[in-house]
């Protein structure tokens, strides 16, 4: 039987976390492309009846995924709560467009195992990792000397420790270059976001931590660089607009057009990150190097501390202090399955000491 061409090329997309910053931009990308069809959507608590043929609010998203028969699952849930969807997609070999970096950080080893069995694609949506994916492509790891992640430095770039004691949630939420959900915006202010991204890059690209660098680049035009062994350095540039990496992951390997304007070329600035003031970057790298469930604990403690900071229960500097304290007290033993990982996440959350 001959199948009409349009039914062959249309990709069925499930968007998890459809009411969030990434989720809403993904709906825009899907709406604008006739080759993408939204078949399922989920949210944490906001009602979304009618948004897609299949919808789910809260609960176990893997039930929605079973029914959706999607070609691509965009995981744009925030936090460890996204881990079930990540592992389900990888295990079932369904292409995973991954915005939810926390799941890969916490469950990196389990995720790689699931991907090996499922043999599906894992396409990063995080802008730096999307850029790296484009730069590294199928290049052999021997050619790559190191990956360089860029970060804007957040709203408090250049400040000393003493100047951060009394900063408020509103000040932390005023990101200079990206407009994002509240949790990742605070992570960008503490540099926990870069800490998470170093670990994310390690699992995505299979390089040891000493070959993953971080550089501060205030305008967020260069998203990542790759140093090759012959001395060449490749960079990926573009306006900070998440519709580009979302579209890249949803239309891969097609690269559909987006409404993002052509880039005007201007001066590009780079600085060393201040890891003494912004402890979360150094702590993330340390947790990644220790391996096991240390990255899971780093993420869990950070999630609890960020919530407390946003609720006004602790100060900005208490976030890193709380995470450092938890990392010193967990055993970090590897998790053999999702159940053990969920338990490690729960234990780390319980260990967070919050003093106002």
Q: Which is nearer to Mg ion, 147 or 326 (CB)?
A: 147
| 283: helix, strand or coil | helix
Q: Which is nearer to ligand NAD, 61 or 297 (CB)?
A: 61
Q: How far is the CB of 345 from ligand NAD (least distance, A)?
A: 12
Q: How far is the CB of 9 from ligand NAD (least distance, A)?
A: 27
Q: Which is nearer to ligand NAD, 67 or 139 (CB)?
A: 67
Q: Which is nearer to ligand NAD, 36 or 85 (CB)?
A: 85
Q: How far is the CB of 354 from ligand NAD (least distance, A)?
A: 20
Q: Which is nearer to Mg ion, 102 or 126 (CB)?
A: 126
| Residue 315 buriedness (CB in 10 A; 0-12 / 13-18 / 19+) | middle
Q: Decide: 304 and 352 in contact? Cβ < 8 Å.
A: yes
Question: Among all chains, which residue has been given the structure tokens 């608590």?
Answer: 45
Degrees to nearest 5, angle at CA 51 with 48 and 55? 65
The upper half-sphere exposure of residue 234, i.e. CA atoms within 13 Å in the direction of its Cβ, equals: 18
| DSSP labels, 148-214 | EEEE---TTTT--GGGGTT--HHHHT--SS----HHHHHHHHHTHHHHHHHHHHHHHH---GGGEEE
Distance CA 111, CA 341 (A): 11
With CB under 5 to 8 Å by kind, the binding choice for 181 among Mg ion, ligand NAD, none is: ligand NAD
Q: How far is the CB of 149 from ligand NAD (least distance, A)?
A: 12
Q: How far is the CB of 245 from Mg ion (least distance, A)?
A: 9
With CB under 5 to 8 Å by kind, the binding choice for 242 among ligand NAD, Mg ion, none is: ligand NAD
Q: What are the angstrom distances between the C-alpha of 68 and each of 24, 53, 55, 92, 221?
A: 19, 9, 9, 13, 36
Q: How far is the CB of 188 from ligand NAD (least distance, A)?
A: 9
Q: Which is nearer to ligand NAD, 21 or 134 (CB)?
A: 21
Interface residue list for Mg ion (CB under 5 A): 126-128
Interface residue list for ligand NAD (CB under 6 A): 17-23, 43-46, 76-78, 81, 99-102, 126, 178, 180-181, 183-184, 242
Q: Which is nearer to ligand NAD, 338 or 353 (CB)?
A: 338
Q: How far is the CB of 59 from ligand NAD (least distance, A)?
A: 8
Tell me the sheet residues that pair with 57: 43
Q: Decide: 192 and 308 in contact? Cβ < 8 Å.
A: no
């Amino acid at each position: 039987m001959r199948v009409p061409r349009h039914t062959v090329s249309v990709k069925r997309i499930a968007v998890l976390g459809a009411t969030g910053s990434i989720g809403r931009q993904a709906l825009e990308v899907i709406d604008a492309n006739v080759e993408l069809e939204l078949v399922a959507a989920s949210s944490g608590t906001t009602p979304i009846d009618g948004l897609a043929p299949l919808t789910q609010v809260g609960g176990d998203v893997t039930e929605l995924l079973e029914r959706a028969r999607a070609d691509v699952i965009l995981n744009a849930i925030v936090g460890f709560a996204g881990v079930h969807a990540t592992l389900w997609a990888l295990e079932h070999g369904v292409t995973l467009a991954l915005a939810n970096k926390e799941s890969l950080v916490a469950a990196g080893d389990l995720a790689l195992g699931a991907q090996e069995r499922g043999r599906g694609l894992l396409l990063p949506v995080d802008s730096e990792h999307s850029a790296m994916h484009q730069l590294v492509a199928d290049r052999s790891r021997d050619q790559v000397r190191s990956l360089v992640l860029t970060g804007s430095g957040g709203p408090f770039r250049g400040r000393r420790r003493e100047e951060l004691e009394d900063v408020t949630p509103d000040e932390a939420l005023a990101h200079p270059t990206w407009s994002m959900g509240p949790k990742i915006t605070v992570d960008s202010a503490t540099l926990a976001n870069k800490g998470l991204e170093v670990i994310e890059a390690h699992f995505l690209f299979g390089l040891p931590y000493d070959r993953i660098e971080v550089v501060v680049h205030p305008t967020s035009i260069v998203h990542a660089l790759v140093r090759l062994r012959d001395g060449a350095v490749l960079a990926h540039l573009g306006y900070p607009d998440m519709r580009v990496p979302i579209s890249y992951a949803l239309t891969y390997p097609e690269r559909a057009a987006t409404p993002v304007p052509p880039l005007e070329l201007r001066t590009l600035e780079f600085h060393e990150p201040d890891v003494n003031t912004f402890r979360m970057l150094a702590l993330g790298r340390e947790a990644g190097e220790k391996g096991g469930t240390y990255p899971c604990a780093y993420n869990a403690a950070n999630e609890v501390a960020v919530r407390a900071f946003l609720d006004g229960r602790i100060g900005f500097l208490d976030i890193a202090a709380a995470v450092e304290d938890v990392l010193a007290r967990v055993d970090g033993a590897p998790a053999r399955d999702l159940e053990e990982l969920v338990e490690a996440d729960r234990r780390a959350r319980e260990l967070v000491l919050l003093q106002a």
